[in-house]
Structure 1
Amino acid sequence: MTVTGEDRNDVDLTGPRFWWWERRRSVVLDAGLAAASAAECAVEGMAFATDTGLPGALGVLIGILVGSTLLVRRRWPIAVVLTSLAVTPAEMGFMLGVVGLYSLAASEVPRRITTVIAGMAFTGTLIVSLVRMRSLAGQDGSSFDPSTGYTLAMSVVLALGMTAPPLLLGLYIGARRRLMESLRERADSLERELSLLADRAEERAEWARTEERTRIAREMHDVVAHRVSLMVVHAAALQAVALKDPQKAVKNAALVGDMGRQALTELREMLGVLRSPESTTAPLTRTPAVPLAAVGAAAGAAAAAAAAADAAGNGPCLADVDALVEQSRAAGMTVELSVDGDPAPCGALVEQTAYRVVQEALTNVHKHAPGAKTWVRIAHREGTEIAMQVENAASDADAPTAGLPSGGNGLVGMRERVHTLGGVFVAGPTDAGGFRVSAVLPVKDPER
């Protein structure tokens, strides 16, 4: 379907359609033009029929039919122009030719076809004008001289006047309509892109909230699980020796109090970091497992509190591993600690992660293998990596357990911490029936 410029502007595609018309106003306009053209062609057809000896009613009927073709000018503009060319020798269809050329030029018809048909219209009008002027020049008393170029010049001017203005106006309206359509499409495309960006931003925000909840849960688990596990172990020992060895019971009670105070201190430090406004401007931590598009929007929220705590120097470090091992020994566990290599300067987040891995591994031993001998090995590899391994022997089946609950998130949290820093984490049972946790971390934080 071919639609002209005035039919495309401000089109309401959701409203009712009338055949090939998009709007009610277009129907009224074309019907009015067709009625005016039919009236004009009827008058000119009657005059032509009178001059040629044909019945006048036939000329009027032909004129009405020819003029009414303007109704289809939007869908078949070529047919309208060809009809006007066909009746040009009869000097009919002045309005039909002008409006038809305009509709053709403003439509989506290829420009080559438009040029050819416009040339035919110009030629036909020129020939009819020449013949008409020569016939007028041959009449008695006429001022026209067929031997001069005046007749040709007037015919050319008349032909141009009937073809050039509607053609140029139609070309302008068509170009303007195409420009408006292009701008409208670009605006729609921009609106779709903005909507897509808004959806992606919402997804990133949701991802950031999820990551932050996961990180807080991991921090809470690291802070609470180990201290509370030791407190439960010491409380059980306190209950066992309270009547037999009061001095040892007092010592265990003091240890339980120390564990509780340390847990409260770490909780206060973490909650203070979460409430600190500086935590929202902490450096971003880029996670290799996360798409790059989501990292820029969400990684800062996911690592904000931890990074702020490290920057303030409040987080644990590798130097605290000795005290961590001593706490486990005080709880009755046999732990051997070995450190190989020369320590190199490490990022605060790396040291905290290394400490948390050892802490969580010892907590798991307290939960699942009470009384089992445990080895803690830390190796500094040429100033580029830190390797940690916590391995316990098989637990004694007859050893009493402390009845500590397990949420199953300890290994998951360790793996997330290590992978976030670009390290390697492996955990699993040993051939001897024990369990081994191994991790390798780069010396520097990924963001440095």
Structure 2
Amino acid sequence: MTTTGAHEEAEGLTTRGFWWWRRRRSVVLDVGLAVVSALECAFEGIRFADSARLPVALGVVFGVVVGSVLLLRRRWPMTVVLVSVAVTPAEMGVLLAIVGLYTLAASDAPRRIIGALAGMSLVGTLIVVFVRTRQDVSGVDIESARWYIPLIAVFMALSMSLPPVLLGLYVGARRRLMESLRERADSLEQELSLLADRAEQRAEWARTEERTRIAREMHDVVAHRVSLMVVHAAALQAVALKDPQKAVKNAALVGDMGRQALTELREMLGVLRAGEQQAARKVADAGSGADRSTVPLASVGVAAAAAAAAAADDGPGMEDIEALVGQSRDAGMVVELAVQGVTRAYAPEVEQTAYRVVQEALTNVHKHAAGAKVMVRLAHRDAEIAMQVENGPSYGAADAGLPSGGNGLVGMRERVLALGGVFVSGETDAGGFRVSAVLPYRDAA
């Protein structure tokens, strides 16, 4: 493919045309050049026929055929140059040679071929001009004929061969540069599209993770408190007439737990609202030119960060486990707490996860094994902290009738694995249930 055709195709302006032409104006241009070249060669063919003592008609036909070869310049530029070199001794085809050299130099042909054909055209023109000039000045007595003839021959040969070749090389290099830049732009556009798709996937993943985390927090906050409230309400109903003092005590516990649950819910909702307001302020400060589609993602991201920070700083910790066990004891559960090792400060996320594991395990006992004896063990080790909540058989005790979504164990496992820990749960040989978790040590700093 020659330079013009390749350039048209690269610009995306081409249509299915006639033969090797892809646009109508390309056909018009080449046909016009071929007509001019044919007229020129036909006129020069008359002179060639006279000098060669051939019929004039034959010279005209020969010139028309030679000039019409210019129609092939886009398809076979080397053929056009070779024909122009071949007819150089007949002193015809000036336009054919100039346009052919330009088209060849601007094409994707190897440089050595371009150089060889351009050299042939240069040498041919040099020889013809030298001979013709020598014949013209042969009858004139000029002392400077020795340098005049070679100078004119070199000047004419260079002026006919060098400019079209240089211009063609420039146009071809510019076309290749534009094609390279266009390919890079297309590649960058594809990469940006891929990055946008990946960013959208990450955003969707972040939203899903945040929904899961919020659901887990809500489950841990509400399920335990409400479960204890239901247990105390049942005990209150049972002893209201028999033991008024115990009924009053249970009623007070129910009220305290309800207030604690409401307080924790308000804190969590306040954190989420603060995150959304902060995201809205950032979007407003970004200007009216910002993409509105990024607002929900920003809200989710800021809300997630704020909720995580608040949960880590203000959430329950290891020191609250004893009070948690005390609440279960007040609800009538027999719970023993055993602590091994030296108590120390852990990172907030470690302490909160340990607390939530124990809380959820005790909540499950209240739901599914009411009246069973429970053993809570904590072990502070050098590189980790281990916790275990194990309940014995319930001996036919009735289920508390509390609703269960089946997400308690899943939430505990997700929390522990997120910190690089180990989580195991299952029934014991004695007919009870055991929940065990090991968290790696992280310094509070």
TM over 0.5: yes
Structure 1 residues 379-432: Cα deviation after superposition (integer angstroms, max 9, x where no partner): 1112x3211111112332x21111111111111111121122222222222232
Task: Using the TM superposition, name which of 36-45 and 97-106 deviates more.
Answer: 36-45
Residue identity opposite 1:422 in structure 2: G
Shift, 1:276, TM fit: 2.3
**Are the aligned partners of 1:334 and 1:374 in contact in 2 as well (CA < 8 Å)?**
yes
Structure-2 separation of matches of 1:166 and 1:5: 18
Q: Residues 413 and 302 from structure 1, CA distance in 2 versus in 1: closer, same or farther, beyond 3 angstroms?
A: farther
Structure-2 separation of matches of 1:85 and 1:93: 9
Q: Residues 168 and 351 from structure 1, CA distance in 2 versus in 1: closer, same or farther, beyond 3 angstroms?
A: same
Match of 1:119 in 2: 119
Structure-2 separation of matches of 1:177 and 1:17: 21
Match of 2:385 in 1: 386
Please say if 1:185 is aligned against 2:183: yes
Q: How is 1:155-194 mapped onto 2 (pairs within 5 angstroms)?
A: 155-194=153-192
**Are the aligned partners of 1:278 and 1:308 in contact in 2 as well (CA < 8 Å)?**
no
Give the total of aligned pairs: 427
Task: Using the TM superposition, name which of 58-67 and 218-227 deviates more.
Answer: 58-67
**Are the aligned partners of 1:273 and 1:279 in contact in 2 as well (CA < 8 Å)?**
no
2:211 is paired with a residue whose SS is helix
Q: How is 1:354-373 mapped onto 2 (pairs within 5 angstroms)?
A: 354-373=354-373
Structure-1 separation of matches of 2:52 and 2:321: 119
Q: How is 1:24-423 mapped onto 2 (pairs within 5 angstroms)?
A: 24-138=24-138, 141-142=139-140, 148-277=146-275, 303-310=304-311, 313-382=313-382, 384-396=383-395, 398-423=396-421
1:444 is paired with a residue whose SS is coil
Structure-2 separation of matches of 1:27 and 1:278: 64
Shift, 1:132, TM fit: 1.8
Structure 1 residues 225-277: Cα deviation after superposition (integer angstroms, max 9, x where no partner): 11111111122222223333333322222222122111111111111222224
Structure-2 separation of matches of 1:380 and 1:131: 108
Q: Residues 12 and 24 from structure 1, CA distance in 2 versus in 1: closer, same or farther, beyond 3 angstroms?
A: farther
Residue identity opposite 2:384 in structure 1: E
Q: Residues 40 and 212 from structure 1, CA distance in 2 versus in 1: closer, same or farther, beyond 3 angstroms?
A: same
Shift, 1:135, TM fit: 2.8
Structure 1 residues 208-238: Cα deviation after superposition (integer angstroms, max 9, x where no partner): 2111111110110000011111111122222
**Are the aligned partners of 1:7 and 1:26 in contact in 2 as well (CA < 8 Å)?**
no
2:146 is paired with a residue whose SS is coil
Residue identity opposite 1:71 in structure 2: L
Structure-1 separation of matches of 2:423 and 2:25: 73
Structure-2 separation of matches of 1:143 and 1:241: 146
Residue identity opposite 1:322 in structure 2: E
Q: Residues 30 and 96 from structure 1, CA distance in 2 versus in 1: closer, same or farther, beyond 3 angstroms?
A: same
Structure 1: give runs of 5+ residues left out of the alignment: 282-296
Structure 1 residues 313-368: Cα deviation after superposition (integer angstroms, max 9, x where no partner): 42111111111111112222211111111112211221111101100111111122
Q: Residues 91 and 375 from structure 1, CA distance in 2 versus in 1: closer, same or farther, beyond 3 angstroms?
A: same
Residue identity opposite 1:328 in structure 2: S
Task: Using the TM superposition, name which of 342-351 and 80-89 deviates more.
Answer: 342-351
Task: Using the TM superposition, name which of 29-38 and 194-203 deviates more.
Answer: 194-203
Match of 1:442 in 2: 440
Residue identity opposite 1:238 in structure 2: L
Task: Using the TM superposition, name which of 324-333 and 145-154 deviates more.
Answer: 145-154
Q: Residues 136 and 6 from structure 1, CA distance in 2 versus in 1: closer, same or farther, beyond 3 angstroms?
A: farther
Structure-2 separation of matches of 1:303 and 1:373: 38
Structure-1 separation of matches of 2:208 and 2:310: 20
Structure-2 separation of matches of 1:211 and 1:83: 74
Higher helix residue share: 2
Q: Residues 192 and 21 from structure 1, CA distance in 2 versus in 1: closer, same or farther, beyond 3 angstroms?
A: same
Shift, 1:2, TM fit: 2.8
Structure-2 separation of matches of 1:98 and 1:326: 102
Structure-2 separation of matches of 1:279 and 1:212: 17
Q: Residues 127 and 254 from structure 1, CA distance in 2 versus in 1: closer, same or farther, beyond 3 angstroms?
A: same
Residue identity opposite 2:305 in structure 1: A
Q: Residues 386 and 376 from structure 1, CA distance in 2 versus in 1: closer, same or farther, beyond 3 angstroms?
A: same
Percentage of matched positions with identical amino acids: 70
Structure-1 separation of matches of 2:144 and 2:108: 42
RMSD: 2.6
Structure 1 residues 22-73: Cα deviation after superposition (integer angstroms, max 9, x where no partner): 3332222212111111111111122212321222222222222211222221
Shift, 1:14, TM fit: 6.2
**Are the aligned partners of 1:5 and 1:107 in contact in 2 as well (CA < 8 Å)?**
no
Structure-2 separation of matches of 1:280 and 1:390: 40
Structure 1 residues 263-304: Cα deviation after superposition (integer angstroms, max 9, x where no partner): 1111111112222249969xxxxxxxxxxxxxxx99965852
